[in-house]
């Protein structure tokens, strides 16, 4: 897969949750024609709501889906997506969404990952004891444009994909007859959550950029930022700071690396000596 042979390549996206619309525009700009394969139940690899525990890491699961797309369809290229939700990395009271897209090049046995993290998510959950509490929660999480899940997998009244108030009222009424309080959470599956779909779209833009960036050594795509190198010098005292002086780019296949300069000097505001 080099810059000359990437045009009109078919890639198969293994998804049951209508994610094609989020990624097809970006991938078409990098030379791929996108097809979906939905005959495999991706929920068998893990669910947000807890029916099935994910056995692999987020990155590994995304790659597994991409490889399955190749195995099940015979495609040379497969695409997998996996999301996760948790606390914000700095502000722990806020929610955070990580999205991973993995592309698998079967011929070259080459994986390319794009990762996008964002605080733009409606991820939330709480116990409710009345319809008023449920409707207040629903309003806060952008229901009905964003779906809800009522109950936990062990509950007889457990229901995913609630997208209208009538269904919410009916299921909640039934659930409150069996329990004094009921668990309510956002449905984070992509087809139930436009905000998450937007995050996947952002990840696809990063993947598209990686597909157009080729390693100077092996010529395969996916050559991109690996980490920042600290050490930009203070303009005032000349000591090294924690601010990055360069980017280290790396090929995910042959591991070729190169440094790209960023800032040789930064203001004293970023210096631990001048501004402790």
Rg (CA), the chain: 22
Residues 6+ apart with CB under 8 A from 60: none
Average pLDDT over the chain, rounded to whole? 95
182 burial via Cβ count (<10 Å: 0-12, 13-18, 19+)? buried
According to the model, what pLDDT value does residue 90 have?
A: 87
Q: What is the pLDDT of residue 229?
A: 96
Q: Band the pLDDT of 57: cuts 50, 70, 90.
A: very high
Mean pLDDT to the nearest integer, 254-268 = 95
The confidence score (pLDDT) of residue 187 equals 98
Q: Is the pLDDT of residue 2 over 60?
A: no
Q: Among 202, 162, 166, which residue's Cα sits nearest to residue 186?
A: 162
Distances (CA, A) of 197 to 56, 135, 172: 22, 24, 27
pLDDT in tens, 195-216: 999 999 999 999 999 999 999 9
Categorize the per-residue pLDDT at 8 as very low, low, confident or very high, splitting at 50, 70 and 90: low
- Mean pLDDT for the stretch of residues 142-168: 97
């Amino acid at each position: 897969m080099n810059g000359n042979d990437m045009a009109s390549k078919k890639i198969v996206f293994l998804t049951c949750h209508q994610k094609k619309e989020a990624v097809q525009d970006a991938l078409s700009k990098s030379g791929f024609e996108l097809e979906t394969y939905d005959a495999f139940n991706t929920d068998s690899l893990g669910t947000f709501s807890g029916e099935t525990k994910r056995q692999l890491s987020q990155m590994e699961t995304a790659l597994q889906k991409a490889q399955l797309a190749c195995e099940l369809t015979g495609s040379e290229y497969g695409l997998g997506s996996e999301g996760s939700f948790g606390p914000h990395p700095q502000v722990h009271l806020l929610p955070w969404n990580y999205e991973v897209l993995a592309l698998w090049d079967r011929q070259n046995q080459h994986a390319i990952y794009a990762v996008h993290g964002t605080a733009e998510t409606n991820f939330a959950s709480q116990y409710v004891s009345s319809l008023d509490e449920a409707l207040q929660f629903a309003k806060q999480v952008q229901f009905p444009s964003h779906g809800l899940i009522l109950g936990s997998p062990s509950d007889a009244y457990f229901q995913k994909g609630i997208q209208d108030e009538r269904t919410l009222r009916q299921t909640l009424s039934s659930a409150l007859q069996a329990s004094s309080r009921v668990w309510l959470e956002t449905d984070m599956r992509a087809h139930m959550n436009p905000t998450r779909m937007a995050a996947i779209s952002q990840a696809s833009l990063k993947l598209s950029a990686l597909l157009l960036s080729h390693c100077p050594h092996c010529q395969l795509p996916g050559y991109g930022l690996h980490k920042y190198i600290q050490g930009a010098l203070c303009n005032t005292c000349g000591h090294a700071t924690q601010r990055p002086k360069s980017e280290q780019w790396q090929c995910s296949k042959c591991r070729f690396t190169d440094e790209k300069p960023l800032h040789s000097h930064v203001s004293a505001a970023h210096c631990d000596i001048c501004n402790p």
